[in-house]
Amino acid sequence: MKARTQAAVSAEAQIEDLLGTETRFREERRAYQPGLCSALTAGRTTTRPLDGYELDAIKVAREQLPFVSQNRLVEIIPGGQASHQPRRLGIVLSGGPAPGGHNVIGGVFEAMTKGHPESRLIGFLAGPKGIITNQHVEVTAEMVDLHKNSGGFHMLGTGRDKIDTPKKMEQCRQTCATLQLDGLVVVGGDDSNTNAAFLAENLREMGTQVIGIPKTIDGDLQVPGLLQVPFGYHSACMAFATEIGNLNSDCKSDLKYWHFNRLMGRSASHIALEVAFQTHPNVILIGEEIEENELTIHQVVRLIADVVVERAQLGKNYGTILIPEGILEFIHEIHVLIIKISYIIADYDREAHEGESFQQLSYEDQVQLIDNSDIWRDYDSRVFLGFPSLLQRGLMLPRDSHGNFPFALVNTERILLEMVATYLRKQRAKGIYKGIFRTQNHYYGYDGRGTFPTCFDCDYAYNLGQTAYSLLANGATGYMAAIKDLHRPVAEWQPLGIPLAPLMHLEERKSRLELVIAKQKVDLESPAFRFLARERDRWALEDHYRFPGPIQFSGPAADAKPISLQLNALG
């Protein structure tokens, strides 16, 4: 009887366990202690200038950021007299979530409490808006432990507000004054680090130092020789690589589908490049190369279709294709049409009566209006009318509030798929193509952005958080925390402070030039790209598929790093 009651209790407990949100996997992830580089393990650090890198701010940056632009590149070394009074620090997560964000918070928190147990960390909620409106929570040791090595930005949420008006800047000053912050850590991409630079300049006199942290899955925040990749990039690439590797496996088994995959990553093709090394797809498009070679969209279609035709001759009517979501930006003829159509839409909307707009016109009227414009040439019409209707409609999508074209909303993979199918029909009619062209199309983005961070990103983000604290403790402001030599073992990683001002350039935003951190494209001279150019012909025809499998957190596969990063370090 007693045994039976125990069995019942045990069943109850098992059911509760099965229906709860706590898993052995999460417990295991929390138990992982990220490695820390030697320079930071002692706790006491100092900074010293690092020479040999050209980092000069442009004139506008020196004018707009007169104090911050005087910063010089520094490296962090053990020892020194860094003061460890109790500190009141703030932290904000900004832009799209990236795996590892919670470890940045953990790194700052642990370094800060090691520095002085009475230090306090204020977490702003839902991104920069949290600073502007002073919405915050105090980060506790329990919160840090709960979220350790987990994905997403759940602890604080995130948002995309820009601190781009004197009023918003004043509100931020108010918040920092009210909370008596002596330091603020801004975790984000190019726009967020631009925020950090201006905050550093504006909060200097009231004694709030500001440090940026390089975050973006897109991989487009880089500084040659100093910042190889931002955190989050590796994890997102590995999540996408798992999915593409699985499609390699599926098409090699079922022998009947061509999988067209669009990958998140804004304009640059960094994600597609890394995923290609992880999976060896049959076709990989790199936007930067298409731009360099001035390819038309029909030439891009040929790049794909020729591989389909050649594989069909080998009896292989299947394959995988990687398409970076920003590809259309790099095709000159499309770029020109987007600019012209944007101008025509803006012009029409400016003159339109109340309640009318270009988007309310019928498709035919839209095309008519474009065709009648002064800036529209016969050549433009020929190019435009040669496009499939999916692309024509895509080009007329509503622009965002800044007038920017919404590349991410265009189903580029379906447009290319349709154009390849049309081309293949012609090749079939000529007797050149005799294969069967069955297809599936996929878009991978949000699912990879939300993944658990790889051990590499766990370690990296944790060290970035610790570096940010070290920079603050050494009195730095207007810097981005960074780690050099990521291809080496964690112990040998070199923490840096990279001055923000020299990373900035002028870019058109809301139709005027603004000073912002420059995004980095794929470097066609880099070893990684040259290796890709060497290998991809083999990937096209042989089934040289690589199956990376799901991200592992223990065992020999757990200490993986980005392949492109390693190739660049070796090459």
Question: What are 21's two structure tokens?
Answer: 């949100």
User: What 3-state DSSP class applies to 243?
Assistant: helix
Determine the interface stretch with its own copies among 36-44, 226-234, 255-263, 501-509 (rule: CB under 8 A): 255-263
Minimum distance, C-beta of residue 454 to its own copies, in the bound complex (Å): 10
**Angstrom distance (rounded) from CA 469 to CA 465:** 6
Nearer to its own copies, 154 or 505 (CB): 154
Q: Does 24 bind its own copies (CB under 8 A)?
A: yes
Nearer to its own copies, 158 or 474 (CB): 158
Nearer to its own copies, 296 or 411 (CB): 411
Residues in the chain: 571
Q: Does 557 bind its own copies (CB under 8 A)?
A: yes
Contacting its own copies (CB under 8 A), which of 75, 164, 250, 349?
250
Minimum distance, C-beta of residue 456 to its own copies, in the bound complex (Å): 14
Q: Which of residues 69-128 bind its own copies (CB under 8 A)?
A: 93, 96-97, 101, 126
Q: Does 439 bind its own copies (CB under 8 A)?
A: no
CB atoms closer than 10 angstroms to residue 59: 8
Nearer to its own copies, 159 or 502 (CB): 159
Q: Does 21 bind its own copies (CB under 8 A)?
A: yes
Contacting its own copies (CB under 8 A), which of 106, 450, 497, 502?
450
Q: Does 570 bind its own copies (CB under 8 A)?
A: yes
Minimum distance, C-beta of residue 98 to its own copies, in the bound complex (Å): 9
One DSSP character per residue, 389-451 reads: HHHHHHHTSPP-TTS---GGGS-HHHHHHHHHHHHHHHHHHTTS--S---EEEEEESHHHHTS
Nearer to its own copies, 94 or 467 (CB): 94
Q: Does 414 bind its own copies (CB under 8 A)?
A: no
User: What 3-state DSSP class applies to 162?
Assistant: coil
Determine the interface stretch with its own copies among 20-28, 393-401, 421-429, 472-480 (rule: CB under 8 A): 20-28
**Angstrom distance (rounded) from CA 244 to CA 183:** 42
Pairs from 113-119 (Cβ < 8 Å, separation ≥ 24): 113/141, 114/43, 115/43, 115/84, 115/87, 115/469, 115/473, 116/84, 116/85, 116/86, 116/87, 117/86, 118/86, 119/86, 119/87, 119/88, 119/89
Q: Does 364 bind its own copies (CB under 8 A)?
A: no
Contacting its own copies (CB under 8 A), which of 152, 219, 230, 502?
152
Cα dihedral sign, 284-286-287-289? negative
Q: 228-249: b or e for each residue (b if 16 or more CB lie within 10 Å)?
A: bbbbbbbbbbbbbbbbbbbbbe
Nearer to its own copies, 343 or 531 (CB): 531
Nearer to its own copies, 171 or 249 (CB): 249
Q: Does 393 bind its own copies (CB under 8 A)?
A: no
Contacting its own copies (CB under 8 A), which of 47, 150, 175, 282?
150
Number of H helices, E strands in the chain: 22, 15
Determine the interface stretch with its own copies among 67-75, 349-357, 359-367, 444-452 (rule: CB under 8 A): 444-452
Q: Does 407 bind its own copies (CB under 8 A)?
A: no
Q: Does 363 bind its own copies (CB under 8 A)?
A: no
Q: Does 568 bind its own copies (CB under 8 A)?
A: no
The region that residue 429 occupies, defined by phi over 0 for left and psi between -120 and 50 for alpha, beta otherwise, is alpha
Q: Which of residues 490-519 bind its own copies (CB under 8 A)?
A: none
**Angstrom distance (rounded) from CA 199 to CA 186:** 10
Minimum distance, C-beta of residue 185 to its own copies, in the bound complex (Å): 17
In the numeric block, the tokens 């035709």 are attached to 309
Binding mask 516-535 for its own copies (x = CB under 8 A): ---------------x---x
Q: Does 14 bind its own copies (CB under 8 A)?
A: yes
Nearer to its own copies, 158 or 209 (CB): 158
CB-based contacts of 506, cutoff 8 Å, min separation 6? 58, 60, 513, 514, 515, 516
Nearer to its own copies, 248 or 267 (CB): 248
> How far from 561 is each of 228, 270, 371, 462, 497, CA to CA, in Å?
12, 15, 51, 16, 23
Nearer to its own copies, 183 or 319 (CB): 319
Q: Is 218 annotated in the active site?
A: yes
Determine the interface stretch with its own copies among 286-294, 470-478, 510-518, 549-557 (rule: CB under 8 A): 549-557
**Angstrom distance (rounded) from CA 454 to CA 65:** 36
Angle at the Cα of 176 from the Cα atoms of 175 and 178, rounded to 5 degrees = 65
CB atoms closer than 10 angstroms to residue 526: 16
CB atoms closer than 10 angstroms to residue 506: 14
Q: Does 566 bind its own copies (CB under 8 A)?
A: yes
Crossing angle for the helix pair 412-429 and 297-313, to the nearest 10 degrees: 60
Determine the interface stretch with its own copies among 33-41, 148-156, 226-234, 283-291 (rule: CB under 8 A): 148-156
**Angstrom distance (rounded) from CA 106 to CA 464:** 10
Q: Does 252 bind its own copies (CB under 8 A)?
A: yes
Q: Which of residues 159-178 bind its own copies (CB under 8 A)?
A: 159
Q: Residue 280 is which amino acid? A: H
Q: Does 287 bind its own copies (CB under 8 A)?
A: no
Minimum distance, C-beta of residue 97 to its own copies, in the bound complex (Å): 4
Catalytic residue among 161, 182, 190, 218: 218
Catalytic residue ranges: 218
